[in-house]
Structure 1
Amino acid sequence: MLQKSITKVIAGQGGSYGLKSALLCSSWFFQFGVKTKQFFDSTSFQKPSRVDAPVVCIGNIIAGGSGKTPFLQRMLTDLKTISPEHIAVVSRGYKGQYNKAADVLHLNKERDLTAQLCGDESYMLYKNFPSHGFFVSKNRYKGALRAVCRGAKLVFLDDGMQNNTLFQDMRVVVLHAERLFGGEGVQKGFFLPRGPLRDFPSSLKKANFIVVNHACSEEKIERANKALEHYSTCPIIYTQMVKQGFFDESGRVEMAANSRIGVFCGLGSPKSFIDCLKEEGLDIATSWFLQDHEKANVEALDQFALKAKTMGCKFLVCTEKDWVKLIKREGYALPLCFIKSELAIVRGQDAYATLLNSVKTLVKERV
């Protein structure tokens, strides 16, 4: 219950004065810790370790919901001139059981893998790109080193902008158009745990490219352009999520525009997911929001399905990230399906082409 209350405060959805005050005090300590770490990183004699392959970091400055994973998927899809077996992704497997292990987990067919073991995002990427290399390790340098030993000529570091143990040849920072700096619109938000901010906006000066996701209007694009001028002069790529359809275990699911549905998800920012469903003309009768990366409990999901059925719902809909975590996908009072979306470039196509070419050049220079 406390965790849910904290999540609502971080998302700006209310909360008691006492809880907000307590979290604000904690956020001051977090902010001080970030500032202290940046100071020692800039003055330390110990340089970040290098591996024998270029490292491209896909990072952010807020916790959850910016769109790092969809953008990484887009890049993996578009880097067609590099063999998949030569591309590796290293992540810490957030919320996975292996996140606390000291070793490196190589995701492959020889292991009995689950989203609970390696983290939902790592597992989803592995299922969508089985020919690429995926490695989970809380020590990013060890993970990248293992990837190179397994033949990687290009390493993507998933969510490693605040990590200084591994040298990064290129940094791509993904922002959310509706809360660029953690607050509403272009306002600076609070640091964790009072708000979603995990780094100073000034850190954007370290970025080689900036991606602004959920840029679904010209107003948001122009607003972001103006705000980012104060922090960076690097190329900016504007993107948004585009629905590809609804799917279940058997394949595509046809759903009428006015279908009555129940929805559940464990996202840092579920608003974009809900907005997407509403844009499809779907009637959302009831919703169940879990913590970011939280798995839906089978018994609780069964009760939610029964509740949704009594409200006239025909389906339960979740995100692809929630789908891969489900242990049981059939046998409920209502059929389950997930919405599959892909990231589309809406402005900055030339900047995106430059990004892809820059990555290819990094690989050629190391070969």
Structure 2
Amino acid sequence: MSQSRWQALWLVHSRKRGWLARLLWPVSQVYAGLMALRRTLYVLGIFKTHRIKVPVIVIGNVVVGGAGKTPTVIAVVNHLRDQGWRPGVVSRGHGRHSQEIVEVRPDMPLEECGDEPALIRQRTGVPVFVAASRVAAADTLVGAHPEVDVLVCDDGLQHWALHRDLQIVVFDDRGTGNGWLLPAGLLREAWPRGSSGSPLQDMVLHQHREDALAPPPISAPGASLFSATRRLAAHAVGPTGDRIPLHELRTHRLTAVAGIARPSVFFDMLHARGLRPERKVGLPDHADAADYAALIQDSECTLLCTEKDAVKLFPLLAEAQPASRVQAWAVPLELTPEPAFFNTLDHRLHTLGRKP
């Protein structure tokens, strides 16, 4: 059986406690014990937690796969900036080929910074630093940009070495899956997190597609629970920043491409917008730029991709011009949290004694 077939089988059983999940359950108990031990060592002070001089907001998910973390980071950073804060972002930069501490620059090769940090930098314009250690990235960022007065940590819930003042846990329509930890389920750590030893009250953002029924509620005792809707914008953006209404693409011969954790989600959202691609190409999350190269050889198609794919695909198209006449458009994702989410975020920052 191919790797993709095994992965599809695992995803089914990890959501329903099927036979494969039950077979892997003993292994998940070992994993749970190791995670609990690691957290206890931080709580007891045996493993040290590093505090920096500005408030830290950690945004992440406790389930594997794409739960909407990056759109949440972008939405939170843009909100903070609109409120007068001067935010910065730190990330590990999954998929990059370097372990060095780097500041993401507009023209930096993605191999050095990773696709998600590049997208965050593009969508927010704030300083973004990546490193294998988020502590190292945070220290370097605040040293290089003393104007930064709040730090957002991209995907760092389990990175206990970095002290955090606020935690935002992101869920999508999968919820907690079957409620079991890896590899028997989707969870990276036990949920609810009340037993983790953290004194912080989590903010939980449960996202669902606007065109779909709201998923069952998340059990989150002790946490503040909020909802958010996701949908694709009514337009697409080209390599030069030009826009086109999605309905004008319905007559095109479309190829949809998505190099994200769950490509089918993007394809379904295109369908909800009335688009029917002739071909759908799902690539691995954090796919290399070379994986996109074959897509620009077909001059008869119009490529539709996510914004995350565009940071790799658009530069390839620029290099291939004028030999390639392929059109490519990225469809932005719009995330709309309920108003109480940002109101609560603002209030909690102010209770820390910090104001923009």
Deviations 1:303-329 (A, max 9, x none): 6x47xx5xxxx4221111011022412
The answer on whether the counterparts of 1:173 and 1:204 sit within 8 Å (CA) in structure 2 is no
Letter in 2 for 1:54: P
Aligned twin of 1:113: 108
Partner SS for 1:325: helix
The answer on whether the counterparts of 1:58 and 1:72 sit within 8 Å (CA) in structure 2 is yes
CA positional deviation for 1:53: 0.7
Measure, in 1, the Cα distance between the counterparts of 2:44 and 2:103: 34
Measure, in 1, the Cα distance between the counterparts of 2:281 and 2:22: 27
How many pairs does the alignment contain?
Answer: 336
CA positional deviation for 1:357: 3.3
Q: Which runs of 4+ in 1 moved over 6 A?
A: 17-25
Residues 1:283 and 2:276 are matched in the alignment: yes
Letter in 2 for 1:92: R
Equivalent position to 2:244, from 253, 263, 269: 253
Residues 1:49 and 2:46 are matched in the alignment: no
Residues 1:11 and 2:11 are matched in the alignment: yes
The answer on whether the counterparts of 1:243 and 1:341 sit within 8 Å (CA) in structure 2 is yes
Residues 1:97 and 2:87 are matched in the alignment: no
* Equivalent runs, 1:231-250 vs 2, <5 Å: 231-244=220-233, 245-250=235-240
CA positional deviation for 1:32: 3.9
Equivalent position to 2:192, from 196, 202, 209: 202
Aligned twin of 1:127: 122
Measure, in 1, the Cα distance between the counterparts of 2:26 and 2:259: 27
The answer on whether the counterparts of 1:212 and 1:237 sit within 8 Å (CA) in structure 2 is yes
Aligned twin of 2:265: 272
CA positional deviation for 1:274: 1.4
The answer on whether the counterparts of 2:60 and 2:155 sit within 8 Å (CA) in structure 1 is yes
Letter in 2 for 1:301: L
Measure, in 1, the Cα distance between the counterparts of 2:161 and 2:181: 26
Cα distance change on mapping 1:26 and 1:46 into 2, 3 Å: closer
CA RMSD of aligned residues (A): 3.1
TM-score normalized by the length of structure 2:
0.82
Deviations 1:153-182 (A, max 9, x none): 111111000011111111010111x2111x
Aligned twin of 1:76: 77
Residues 1:338 and 2:326 are matched in the alignment: no
The answer on whether the counterparts of 1:153 and 1:363 sit within 8 Å (CA) in structure 2 is no
Deviations 1:174-206 (A, max 9, x none): 111x2111x2xxx325514x5532121122675
The answer on whether the counterparts of 1:209 and 1:234 sit within 8 Å (CA) in structure 2 is yes
Residues 1:324 and 2:302 are matched in the alignment: no
Identity of aligned pairs, percent? Answer: 24
TM-score normalized by the length of structure 1:
0.80
Deviations 1:21-58 (A, max 9, x none): 99777655544432332333333434411111111100
Cα distance change on mapping 1:6 and 1:108 into 2, 3 Å: same
Partner SS for 1:51: coil
Deviations 1:59-116 (A, max 9, x none): 1101221111111111122221324xx3110100011123xx2x4212246xx51222
- Specify every segment of 5 or more residues in structure 1 that has no aligned partner in the other structure, as ranges: none
* Equivalent runs, 1:106-255 vs 2, <5 Å: 106-108=103-105, 113-130=108-125, 132-149=126-143, 150-151=145-146, 152-176=148-172, 178-181=173-176, 183=177, 187-189=178-180, 191-192=182-183, 195-203=185-193, 207-214=201-208, 216=210, 220=214, 223-224=216-217, 227-228=218-219, 231-244=220-233, 245-250=235-240, 251-254=242-245, 255=248
The answer on whether the counterparts of 1:95 and 1:293 sit within 8 Å (CA) in structure 2 is yes
Measure, in 1, the Cα distance between the counterparts of 2:213 and 2:124: 35
Partner SS for 2:214: helix
* Equivalent runs, 1:346-361 vs 2, <5 Å: 348-361=338-351
